[in-house]
Amino acid sequence: MTDAIATQRLRVEPTALQAEAIQLAATAIREGKLVAFPTETVYGLGANAFDATAIARIFAAKGRPFSNPLIVHLATVEHLATVTSEIPDLAQRLLAQFAPGPLTLVLPRHPRVPAIVSAGLSTIAVRIPDHPIAHALLVASDVPIAAPSANRSNYPSPTTADHVVDDLWGRIDIVLDGGATPIGVESTVVDLTTNVPRLLRPGSVSLEQLLTVVPSLDLTLHRVTNSDTSPTASPGMFLKHYAPQAQVLLFQGDRPAVLAHMQARASDLVQSGQRLGLLVTDEDADQFSFLTSQPTVMIAHLGTSKDFTTIAQRLFAALRELDRWGADLILMRAVDPHGLGLAIYDRLFRAAAGQIIQCDS
């Protein structure tokens, strides 16, 4: 697909759900067009999940490999049977607890859903988004909507309509602008088609919450993200993902040792003429004040380290902002991988292509 489509950007107030914009977008979906819309996690790039031609256009617009399957979004839990061939009891229990919301389940795919949606797999990833605009679009279009994150492939997910416009203008039909997405990192993905249920991607439904319903959950990913070993074999779980153009250096270890290493590395990089981005929490910001007068340094603030909610909301926008400024490298200290922190840690780990600089005193 070339940049030949007249993209329309339509502002929707989450309180005005009968808006003409929703009707236009729903009609577009039914006509096989591509509509970007906000969800509670990140913006999705949607098409009718039953329309293989429309789905192929999603892959083309994003530059996404056909080997990476899509998530299908549904208006309610009752719609599950339209796209899955079997709904295990565990799925019902998880959805009773977490739907609508940022939890994606991998289940057996119903043959009426074209295989291209799932990259040829016999499974399908489904979720029921908890966002009034996503919900209104699903209801008005009356079809399941397959939607990956609405970014160019391998770029950080979009958390505002501006991000979608930056990546996909001229390549998609409509952007529904519903403001910034409330969570900011993508949904938790759990595979229920394996013998033991398996976490494929940490998200804002935390490991701790999942374990209350699925004590046997396979946490292989947890081990992978906390060491330097290779990625899991799951589709889409490649290490180099969610990455900005700049090289990300992720530091981990005792706080004083990490800060000392980061200060030394930052000084070296500035001296060698590199444009340096720093992603810092409020608690660490003072440690880098010696660099603030440097024109080749840009510091992005994530808020207090005690508030993962705000860090998750700001993370992708901050990475994009540093990229746009032209950072060659971005330095950041890893967060604690607990609760929502695990999802943040995972995105940083991938942005750093799985390289962690371990610092201990």
Tell me the three state secondary structure of residue 270: helix
104/149 with CB nearer Mg ion: 149
206 binds, among Mg ion, ligand TXA, none (CB under 5 to 8 A by kind): none
104/281 with CB nearer ligand TXA: 104
For the CB of residue 272, give the shortest distance to ligand TXA in the complex, in Å. 35
For the CB of residue 50, give the shortest distance to ligand TXA in the complex, in Å. 16
For the CB of residue 124, give the shortest distance to ligand TXA in the complex, in Å. 6
At 78, phi and psi to the nearest 5? -60, -20
Diameter over CA atoms, the chain: 60
- Tally Cβ neighbours within 10 Å of residue 60: 14
The sign of the CA dihedral 244, 248, 253, 256 is negative
For the CB of residue 291, give the shortest distance to ligand TXA in the complex, in Å. 34
Residues in contact with Mg ion, counted by CB under 5 A, come to a total of 1
204 binds, among Mg ion, ligand TXA, none (CB under 5 to 8 A by kind): none
Judge whether 73 and 129 are in contact, CB under 8 Å. yes
71/299 with CB nearer ligand TXA: 71
CA separation, residue 17 to residues 101, 159, 213 (Å): 19, 20, 34
284 binds, among Mg ion, ligand TXA, none (CB under 5 to 8 A by kind): none
48 sits near Mg ion (criterion: CB under 5 A): no
DSSP-derived pairing of the beta strands 103-108 and 123-127: antiparallel
* Binding mask of the shown chain, residues 133 to 162, with x at each position contacting Mg ion by CB under 5 A: ----------------x-------------
Calculate helix-pair angle for 161-168, 308-325, nearest 10 degrees. 40
For the CB of residue 153, give the shortest distance to Mg ion in the complex, in Å. 8
Sheet containing strand 276-280, edge to edge, reads 297-301, 276-280, 329-333, 247-253, 356-359
Pairwise CA distance, residues 108 & 95, whole Å: 16
Pairwise CA distance, residues 17 & 21, whole Å: 9
280 binds, among Mg ion, ligand TXA, none (CB under 5 to 8 A by kind): none
For the CB of residue 279, give the shortest distance to Mg ion in the complex, in Å. 20
84/149 with CB nearer Mg ion: 149
46/277 with CB nearer ligand TXA: 46
200/312 with CB nearer ligand TXA: 200
42/280 with CB nearer Mg ion: 42
202 binds, among ligand TXA, Mg ion, none (CB under 5 to 8 A by kind): none
118 binds, among ligand TXA, Mg ion, none (CB under 5 to 8 A by kind): ligand TXA
| Element spanning 253, H or E | strand 247-253
Which parts of this chain interact with ligand TXA (CB under 6 A)? 39, 41-42, 44, 68-71, 102, 104, 106, 118, 121, 123-125, 147-149, 186-187, 189, 191, 200-201, 234-237
DSSP structural state of residue 235 = T
234 binds, among Mg ion, ligand TXA, none (CB under 5 to 8 A by kind): ligand TXA
The sign of the CA dihedral 93, 99, 102, 103 is positive
Judge whether 87 and 80 are in contact, CB under 8 Å. yes
Pairwise CA distance, residues 221 & 198, whole Å: 9
For the CB of residue 265, give the shortest distance to ligand TXA in the complex, in Å. 31
Footprint of Mg ion (CB under 5 A): 149
